[in-house]
């Protein structure tokens, strides 16, 4: 998606350790108009697929997923990263290693919000190792629901996650696919 690629070129910053900082428009300051254009692109890509719910993971997936939910006309569920007093014990969980913070998060979704008949679009900001997506796919599987596909903003295609997850048969639609970081090149 040209619009997102151009934005990454203009406002993204390459940091050491293969970190692409997109804080200016994606995951600290957010550009809702860009998110709307991204959501319309996923809507076009998944046209004809029955999707009745979007699943994402806190925190930086929430804004993108919520705007996508508006465009798809479906509710959005976000997996929570820590146990809150307000979340029922009756949850699906997955262990997700954190790239940005280090350590492992237990992410959880209440059983109340995922059911066997659900057809889920997973939305997230980044796909690199695929750890977060693995966790979300596992949670959908625990509910007996169907992963229709994953809509990713930025895929680090030089990392193995995207290929590995596509080989499992999951449709992954990444709007910007980085072939390399230095120099910044897209597939």
Taking CB under 8 A as the criterion, which residues in 108-147 touch its own copies?
109-110, 112-113
- For the chain, the distance separating the N- and C-terminal CA atoms, rounded to the nearest angstrom, is 11
* Interacting residues of 167 by C-beta distance below 8 A, sequence separation 6+: none
Residue 161 corresponds to which tokens in the numbers above? Answer: 């996650």
Q: Is the dihedral of CA 24, 67, 129, 78 positive or negative?
A: positive
Is 70 a residue that touches its own copies (CB under 8 A)? yes
| Choices 43-51, 81-89, 129-137, 164-172 (CB under 8 A): range interacting with its own copies | 81-89
Which residue among 18, 24, 97, 119 contacts its own copies (CB under 8 A)?
24
Instruction: Please report, for residues 81, 108, 118, 123, 137, the alpha-carbon distance to residue 143 in angstroms, rounded to integers and kept in the order given.
Output: 18, 12, 9, 18, 10
Is 11 a residue that touches its own copies (CB under 8 A)? no
Which residue among 4, 67, 121, 145 contacts its own copies (CB under 8 A)?
67
* CA 106 – CA 89 distance, rounded (Å): 13
Which residue among 15, 163, 166, 168 contacts its own copies (CB under 8 A)?
15
Is 73 a residue that touches its own copies (CB under 8 A)? yes
- What residues make contact with its own copies under the rule CB under 8 A? 15, 19, 21, 23-25, 27-33, 35-36, 58-59, 62-67, 69-70, 73, 75-78, 80-82, 84-87, 100-102, 109-110, 112-113
């Amino acid at each position: 998606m040209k619009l997102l690629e151009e934005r990454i070129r203009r406002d993204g910053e390459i940091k050491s350790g293969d970190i692409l900082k997109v804080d200016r428009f994606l995951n600290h300051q957010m550009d809702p108009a860009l998110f709307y254009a991204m959501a319309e692109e996923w809507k076009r890509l998944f046209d004809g697929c029955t999707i009745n719910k979007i699943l994402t993971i806190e925190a930086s997936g929430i804004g993108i997923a919520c705007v996508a939910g508006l465009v798809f006309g479906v509710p959005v569920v976000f997996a929570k990263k820590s146990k809150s007093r307000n979340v029922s014990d009756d949850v699906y969980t997955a262990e997700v290693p954190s790239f940005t913070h280090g350590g492992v998060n237990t992410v959880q979704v209440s059983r109340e919000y995922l059911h066997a008949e659900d057809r889920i679009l997973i939305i997230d900001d980044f796909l690199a190792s695929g750890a977060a997506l693995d966790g979300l796919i596992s949670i959908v599987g625990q509910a007996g629901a169907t992963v229709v596909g994953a809509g990713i903003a930025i895929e680090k295609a030089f990392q193995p996650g995207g290929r590995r997850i596509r080989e499992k048969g999951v449709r992954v639609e990444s709007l910007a696919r980085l072939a390399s970081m230095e120099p910044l090149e897209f597939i």
